[in-house]
């Protein structure tokens, strides 16, 4: 059957190797294609850790993670990775060119597909302005591009994969408000058919979400829409008012 992108966490617990206490406990959530799930919570709440369990950067120490109904440990790791576009909190670039960075994960992508991904990621203009365009060199670690540009190239790279699942770890808060808004608008056609999970800080990102998960000390303390959580989750109220 074709990949649809339904992500489920069932009674997930996670303890980092060598650590004494779990950083995530009793996590239950379902994220479906055609919808955006936002994960919010204060620093250290476990947001990045939660996302890292979905492509199996770490294995759960309790419970399970399912993709399209199948435990992710049943997938071939490369096959699982193919289905998940992860945009890490600290975007990284490989030494090479813009194009080689974008094709990482989908070597067969055409130039046209690269430009399309750059356009959605709000990175088309600055790449087009480089004399070498797609063949512009990327120095060690992307030191010749700004932090915001690096972030947008990392988003474009994930989009080139055309994955059924996208995980954005705090990808928008480093961008200025106007770019953030344009990017989220451009992403709408993608979230119309893919499963999108975003770790977010700005209220403007969160209010759009179909479902918001509030994490506190590694536990879910609220699930719902913005309005539902405003009415019923003290932690959420604190987060959006800070
Ligand atoms: P942020 O990005 O500052 O808003 O925080 P979160 O919500 O992304 O938190 P996260 O998942 O990075 O960290 C959750 C807890 O796990 C926190 O107490 C730090 C700890 N932790 C994170 N990464 C590691 C790791 O690689 N090893 C160990 N032992 N602990 C870690
Ligand atoms: Mg984090």
Centroid of ligand 1 to alpha carbon of 99 (angstroms)? 32
Query: Distance between CA atoms of 153 and 27, rounded to whole angstroms?
Result: 31
Using an 8 Å Cβ cutoff, are 214 and 206 in contact? no
Centroid of ligand 1 to alpha carbon of 226 (angstroms)? 25
Using an 8 Å Cβ cutoff, are 220 and 29 in contact? yes
Atom number in ligand 1 closest to CA 17:
29
> For residue 79, what are the CA distances in angstroms to 159, 164, 226?
17, 12, 34
pLDDT for the residue numbered 144: 80
pLDDT for the residue numbered 235: 96
Which neighbouring-strand residues pair with 137?
A: 97
Centroid of ligand 1 to alpha carbon of 118 (angstroms)? 30
pLDDT for the residue numbered 2: 66
Averaged over successive runs of 10 residues, the pLDDT of the chain (242 residues) comes to 87 97 98 95 96 98 97 96 94 93 94 97 95 91 83 95 95 86 91 94 88 97 96 95 84
pLDDT for the residue numbered 100: 96
């Amino acid at each position: 059957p074709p990949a649809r992108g339904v992500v489920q966490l069932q009674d997930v617990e996670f303890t980092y190797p060598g650590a004494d206490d779990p950083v995530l406990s009793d996590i239950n959530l379902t994220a479906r294609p055609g919808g955006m799930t936002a994960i919010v919570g204060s620093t250290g709440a476990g947001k990045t850790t939660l996302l890292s369990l979905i492509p199996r950067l770490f294995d759960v120490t309790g419970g399970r993670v399912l993709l399209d109904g199948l435990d992710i440990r049943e997938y071939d790791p490369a096959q699982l990775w193919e289905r998940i576009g992860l945009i890490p909190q600290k975007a990284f670039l490989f030494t090479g060119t813009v194009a080689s960075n974008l094709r990482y994960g989908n070597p067969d992508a055409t130039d046209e597909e690269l430009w399309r991904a750059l356009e959605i990621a709000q990175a088309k203009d600055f790449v087009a302005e480089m004399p070498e365009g797609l063949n512009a060199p990327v120095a060690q670690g992307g030191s010749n591009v700004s932090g915001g540009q690096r972030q947008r190239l990392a988003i474009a790279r994930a989009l080139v994969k055309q994955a059924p699942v996208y995980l954005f770890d705090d990808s928008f808060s480093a961008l200025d408000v106007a770019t953030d808004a344009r990017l989220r608008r451009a992403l709408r056609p993608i979230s119309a058919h893919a499963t999108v999970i975003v770790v977010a800080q700005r209220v403007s990102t969160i209010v759009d979400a179909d479902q918001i998960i509030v994490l506190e000390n590694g536990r879910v303390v609220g699930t719902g829409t913005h309005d539902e959580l405003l009415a019923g989750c003290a932690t959420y109220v604190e987060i959006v008012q800070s």
